[in-house]
Chain A
Amino acid sequence: MRRVAALFLFIAFAFPTRAQEVPLVADLSSHLVAITTGFAGTNVLLFGATNGPGDIVIVVRGPTGDETVRRKSRLGPIWTNRTNVTFNDVPSYYRVASIRPLEEFASPELLSRYQIGFNNLRITSADQSLSAEQIAKFRDSLIRLKSEQGLYEQGLGAVTFMSNRLFRTELSFPSNVRTGTYVVEVYLIRDGDVASAEIVPLNISQVGVSADIYDFAHNLAPLYGIVSVLLALSAGWAAGAVFRRV
């Protein structure tokens, strides 16, 4: 990580004219997060430079999908899931990082347009049976539960600036991240407007043995099932044979 930053510093100072032509440049230390058998979450370094003053906002979005939020309520003496709300197009991962609070330098319209911040995420439900207020409660719970799983975060201070031009931040991904294509968006906001934006894709996928097993289980399911059961039977038999002699 240090070496990448040092290299970057060198590039930035060696070619000052280049940096001034483009208002914003940004890149990741790696464009692929490889999930292997030992995977326990990882950090990816995001670094970049600006050509002048302005605020940097970093937004990371994971692949989207449906999420169901369930609420328990009493049915006689028993607590049970009685109300479900399914939200569409929910990012599996969402992270916003900035140095100052967003509202100090960006208008609500801007934040809403670019879906920056939990309140501006357009996650909606087609559910007609509940009132808008109730749906909002489920939406808040969705974001709270996702945050508890370490998959959603918005906050300050995660971005560090050097000499007002260079910035860097660590993007952390817990071990329960979904595989797929992630989008890292970097915004340079100047005078209340987006002066420049950079979008960097990040691919998170299983590799090696772990990926082979996943493919086997999904593409050749019957064979995978037979192998699993045979494995279990031979393990049971082997243990029996070993223990007979002990």
Chain B
Amino acid sequence: MQIYLPIAELSVNIFLVLALGGAVGLLSGLFGVGGGFLMTPLLIFIGVPPAVAVGTQSVQIVASSLSGVLAHMRRGNVDFVMGGVLTAGGLIGSSIGVWVFSLLKKSGHIDLTISLGYVLFLGIVGGFMMIESLPGVLNRRPAGVASVARGPTRHPWMQALPFKIRFRRSKLFISSLLPFSIGVLVGFLVATMGVGGGFLMVPAMIYLLGMPTQMVIGTSLFQITFVTAVTALLQAIVNQSVDVILALFLLVIGVLGAQLGARLSSKMKGEYLRVLLAVIVLGVAIRLALDLVLTPQDVFSLGGGN
């Protein structure tokens, strides 16, 4: 069954859209990633113009993230103080990102920068997570042991930073500059790469801040909800690139997927979750890297009017 998308100005198969939205929603609830790094390329692949894909999936991420946050809140898995600091950084970072994006667009190198950025970040993050979490799974080490040695306790200079805050829920007493800078970096990526940023934020919170894995997912979803809501609003105002029909289908099915994912995540061991996420992140990175390196089937493409 086909449905016409008024903003994208083309018709798509509704079942295909529902399958994609559901799968990405499931990952969102399971790992606390927004799923933007998967959704954007998938939408473009089925023919949606890139600008509309980015604008629309940010709306979808708002919905699935919020339902994820609510699910995690009920289990007490959201650190609001930490989430607030991350959100403040995220909004500043995304403002800087919008500015850099326009500079890169003028210089004509935006496509390559985005592709290389994806490969670089996903490759590093995925590889690092794999190395860290794989031994734990193979040795069947009890979950939680690994997190004791991580975080600023391992790095004295981090302990020396000012503006220390006690994050009660995360059982941390660290400088607020650390989560704030993570927020800035993630917000920057939201604006420049059209992703939620969870794939970077989740490992950064685990390995850099030393937060407990269960707390990390709810808290990162908290930040993603706020930052993508502001981004979606800007996209609708500046580019008129939010397709509400497409968003509606994606978010209804995405929300269901996210609920299912949140349920599954509390039943699964943290170590397994991390290996699984590492596999997905590395898979996307390898796919994108191959696209860059392999000889393309068609060297010509249509870029639309300017």
Query: Which A residues form the contact surface with B (CB < 8 A)?
Result: 35-41, 65-73, 75, 77-81, 84, 86, 138, 141-142, 144-146, 149, 175-176, 178-179, 206, 209-211, 213-214, 217-218, 221-222, 224-229, 231-233, 235-241, 243-244
Contacts and interface: CB of A to CB of B under 8 A. Distances in A.
Nearest to A40: B2
Given A37-B3, A67-B305, A232 B60 contact: yes
Contacts of B62: 229, 232-233, 236
Given A145-B301, A233-B66, 5 more contacts: A66-B306, A81-B303, A142-B302, A145-B300, A236-B255
Given A178-B9, A206-B6, A229-B232, A217 B301 contact: no
A232 B59 CA distance: 6
Contacts of A239: 63, 67, 255-256, 258-259
Interface of B: 2-4, 6-7, 9-11, 47, 59-60, 62-67, 70-71, 74, 108, 111-112, 115-116, 225, 229, 232-237, 240, 242, 244-245, 247-248, 251-252, 255-256, 258-259, 291-296, 299-306
Contacts of B258: 239
Contacts of A77: 293
Contacts, number: 191
B305 A38 contact: no
Contacts of B11: 39-41, 175-176
Pick the most buried of A69, A217, A228, A233: most chain B CB atoms within 10 A of its CB: A228
Contacts of B115: 80
A85 B198 CA distance: 37
Contacts of B251: 231-232, 235-236
Contacts of A149: 302
Given A79-B292, A176-B9, A243-B71, A37 B300 contact: no
Contact of A211 (B6, B248, B259, B296): B6
Nearest to B10: A176
B261 to A, nearest CB: 11
A140 B51 CA distance: 26
A181 to B, nearest CB: 16
Contact of B240 (A65, A141, A217): A217
Contacts of A229: 59, 62, 229, 232-233, 236
B280 to A, nearest CB: 23
B300 A86 contact: no
Contacts of A69: 300-303
Given A68-B306, A79-B292, A231-B244, A141 B4 contact: no
B138 to A, nearest CB: 34
